[in-house]
Structure 1
Amino acid sequence: MPARLSSPSHDGRINLEQQRKRAKELLQRLRSGSAPEQQALLPTSTEPRLADAQRLIARDLGFKSWPKLKAHIDAVDFAARHPQFIADDEARTQHWRCGSDIQHSLQLAGFTGAFHMFTDPLCMGPVRDLPPAQYQAMRVDYISQAYGLKRADVQRKMADEYNQLPLLEDCPRAVLWCEADAYDQLFLIRLLSSLDRGPQQLELIQTAQVPGVQRFIGIGQLAPDLLAWLWPQRQPVTEAMVQLARQAWAAYCAPSPEAWARLAHRQDLCLPLLAPALLRQLQELPGLDDGLSLTERLSLQIIAEFGEVPLGRVFAELMGKREPLPFLGDLMFHAVLRPLIDSPTPLISEAQPELEWARRPLTLTALGERVLAGQANWLDQQAPERWVGGVRLQAGQGHWALDQALHPVWRA
């Protein structure tokens, strides 16, 4: 892979003068013949020009041309200096997010509306269609056990957040902030499907990528200026979106993943980021051959490649390079790996338990190597019970699994 021409942004901010300097430096290398990989991308019959170097820099950052790069930088700068929300009665707005990661940045950017969190990690543990009290008790039991948290604290936090949902109904305006991963998209359909009456004005800001950011993980990584830039891009939530959310939520809560899979494979949904997120979440069902979720399989592959590696490094490698649609926090990832470590038939061996969990070295057991190679199935061993949405997975019993085409099949 060619060396990068520029320093990719993490928070979305791009300095135009810095890019101009890099373009001039690249031009010198092109003319001296010391940048052969980039030289090959230019016409051979003409002397390299500054415009050529600028175009290469822009494309390296994800833009089609230098003018498009400049236009984006100008738009972000304008949004920061002339925030449209000041003249848009933003103070009456409720901002809803599946975490607290943008609350401070919203304030720094000048947003003054009310901020609400809904942090139930719907991408993990049982999610079933139950009456509210039973549903919350089910989620509290799972979260407190999986994450090692005090049940009373989890119960209080969950009750507070679910009790806030009615605030959405009939409020003057609400904006939902989402990205493309399963954590956010499940938050989106949960909120929309819960509405009996919507706000007077309900809008959605969602994005799968931000120009200039090499690996966009989520809105929380963006600088305040970029939140101001996203604000004018919000779109109204339509009745069709609400109906789709209700359909998707019912499918996700069902004991069979068949309806969920049909939605996940569609290309025409009015919530455009929903199908890819549902498809990625579908891959948390066990593979037909090895019984592993995609997260489990990628984690075992990383451990196998490193030989011995701290758990925190596995998480960093997974989120930074391997995971196609990052959705896990570090505590969530730890909860994913614990059953593979603590089972009577473990796939992973953990050393030095006196260390904090992120620093403990991990290696594969012999069984872990066999399962990763497809020579044994994890759900034929003593794998702990696991849920993906409304789908229950129990070792030694018939269960839903995914074939190579990512369609659910029943494995007896």
Structure 2
Amino acid sequence: MTTLPRPDATSHGRFNLEQQRKRAKELLKAARADDPDALARLLRHIPPRETPLRLADAQFVIARECGFPSWPRLKAHIESLDASRRLVSGRGDRDMTTLHIRCGSDIEHTLRTAGFQGDFLEFSDPFCIGPVQNLPPAELMRTRAHFLASAFDMTERDSLARLRKSYEALNDLEQYERVVLWFEHDSYDQLILAYLLHRLHTNLPKAKIELVVVEAIPGVERFIGIGQLAPDLLAWLWRQRRPVETSLLELGTQAWLALTADRPEPLQALIATGTPALPMMGRALSRHLQELPAPDTGLGLSEKLTLEIVRDHGPLTVGKTFSYLMREYEPLPYLGDLMFWWQIQPLVTAPQAVLAISDIHREWPHRRLALTDLGRAILEGSRNWLEHASSERWVGGVRVLAPGRTSRPATIGRR
């Protein structure tokens, strides 16, 4: 679950048809007046020709700039959004007592704005970081609470209280006729989804279980997560929800057991199947495995990308480093900003650090990072981070040990 600001329609996904018609007319007028910017925009999508420009040409260019192959496709999508908004406004989720489950609070207000009235449950235990083991729910909750308290500077009591509300709510689903899971394609979401499917598979409620799952939105240039979308897009996604069938529940259990294994081979075997019940889960699990240390550098992919960003653009602030990671470097964005800040701590606090940090009197997003000589050598493959790391970390159920380890750490193939 990751979100970034929503400055325009190519980010939040809500296009206005009249506005796009106006833009097309303005583009055509400017091109006929030989405006160089307008002509350049047209030439990016229409080859030079002798015949005069028409409004249809300008509309085609506007559609392409919005991320659609043609003006009719853009128009049809906008009309579908309008129809979805009317449907949710008129009926929405009011035909059944409904619980919406999401791995964060990012869409709770947007659902209300769109017209949904069902209950909302946030289940946001970030299984993409820290130890993840196949334990009974109460024991898993306590293990995770201990980790999260240490990672995010809170008391274990507060951490446990935050988790208890969501974990225990899964035992109280009988009051609902419908449970709807809202998730996207990244490993943060998909690992939580795997656990929820596993729990539902283990103790199937009477409620109808449905899934809204998405990895791309028409017209959205870089889809990061559902939280970036406008209310009408949630209404549009609602119409595309699917029933959760036995095969998907079984996949959830398979993924959870593989994720919590103490070696990577079970997860690799599951990924090799293509996870046909939900292919995006396999891709997310594959990305998760890339957090294991690479043999040549000892870095997980997030660590490697962070060092590359600081090498390419640094020195720069932690906040800008995170922005580069999310917008340009990360192939499947999944980290939140606090998770990123936690994740880079070993890189800056080790006795031999790979990142130097300055301006420590400022709030952490404004502190500056620079690559050390050791960090550069590790990126080049002449040194290995595991020889210098001063703390252990976990990738699901796999423990990546620090110096003084008694067993060889699991690694993933060179990338």
* TM-score, normalization by structure 2: 0.91
2: CA distance between counterparts of 1:262 and 1:79? 40
Which of 28, 39, 42 is equivalent to 2:43? 39
Identify the structure with bigger relative contact order (alpha carbons < 8 Å, sequence gap 6+): 2
Alpha-carbon offset, residue 190 of structure 1: 0.4
Q: Does 1:232 align with 2:239?
A: yes
Moved more, 208-217 or 117-126: 208-217
2: CA distance between counterparts of 1:222 and 1:377? 41
SS in 1 for 2:133: coil
Q: What corresponds to 1:133 in structure 2?
A: 138
SS in 2 for 1:287: coil
SS in 2 for 1:387: strand
Which of 375, 387, 410 is equivalent to 1:400? 410
Alpha-carbon contact 1:386-1:392 (below 8 Å) kept: yes
1: CA distance between counterparts of 2:248 and 2:175? 18
Which of 48, 51, 59 is equivalent to 2:56? 51
SS in 2 for 1:368: helix
Q: What is the one-letter code of the residue matched to 2:67?
A: G
1:3-41 CA deviation, whole Å, 9 max, x = no partner?
A: xxx965321111222222222333345553832464264
Alpha-carbon offset, residue 227 of structure 1: 1.1
Alpha-carbon offset, residue 321 of structure 1: 1.8
Gaps of 5+ in 1: 1-5, 406-412
SS in 2 for 1:115: strand
Q: What is the one-letter code of the residue matched to 1:21?
A: K
1: CA distance between counterparts of 2:43 and 2:272? 41
Q: What is the one-letter code of the residue matched to 2:301?
A: L
Q: What corresponds to 2:3 in structure 1?
A: none
Moved more, 391-400 or 183-192: 391-400
After TM superposition, the structure 1 = structure 2 runs for residues 200-239 of structure 1, keeping only pairs within 5 Å, are 200-239=207-246
**What percent identity do the matched residue pairs reach?**
45
Q: What is the one-letter code of the residue matched to 2:391?
A: P
Alpha-carbon contact 1:170-1:197 (below 8 Å) kept: no
SS in 1 for 2:305: helix
Which of 270, 274, 279 is equivalent to 2:281? 274
Q: What is the one-letter code of the residue matched to 1:13?
A: R
Which of 255, 269, 273 is equivalent to 1:262? 269
SS in 1 for 2:411: strand
1: CA distance between counterparts of 2:124 and 2:92? 30
2: CA distance between counterparts of 1:73 and 1:81? 13
Measured on the aligned residues, the alpha-carbon RMSD in Å equals 2.0
* TM-score, normalization by structure 1: 0.91
Which of 76, 79, 82 is equivalent to 2:81? 76
Q: What is the one-letter code of the residue matched to 1:113?
A: G
Q: What is the one-letter code of the residue matched to 1:58?
A: A
Moved more, 125-134 or 311-320: 125-134
Alpha-carbon contact 1:85-1:111 (below 8 Å) kept: no
Alpha-carbon offset, residue 87 of structure 1: 6.3
CA shift in 2, pair 1:36/1:84, >3 Å: closer
Alpha-carbon offset, residue 170 of structure 1: 7.2
SS in 2 for 1:388: strand
Moved more, 256-265 or 358-367: 256-265
2: CA distance between counterparts of 1:17 and 1:84? 22
Alpha-carbon contact 1:11-1:213 (below 8 Å) kept: yes
SS in 2 for 1:312: helix
Alpha-carbon offset, residue 158 of structure 1: 1.1
Q: What is the one-letter code of the residue matched to 1:279?
A: S
1: CA distance between counterparts of 2:357 and 2:43? 49
CA shift in 2, pair 1:348/1:61, >3 Å: same
SS in 2 for 1:205: strand
Q: What corresponds to 1:3 in structure 2?
A: none
Moved more, 337-346 or 34-43: 34-43
Alpha-carbon contact 1:91-1:114 (below 8 Å) kept: no
CA shift in 2, pair 1:219/1:251, >3 Å: same
Which of 361, 367, 390 is equivalent to 2:368? 361
Gaps of 5+ in 2: 1-6
Q: What is the one-letter code of the residue matched to 2:28?
A: L
Q: What corresponds to 1:351 in structure 2?
A: 358
Alpha-carbon offset, residue 373 of structure 1: 1.6
Q: What corresponds to 1:310 in structure 2?
A: 317
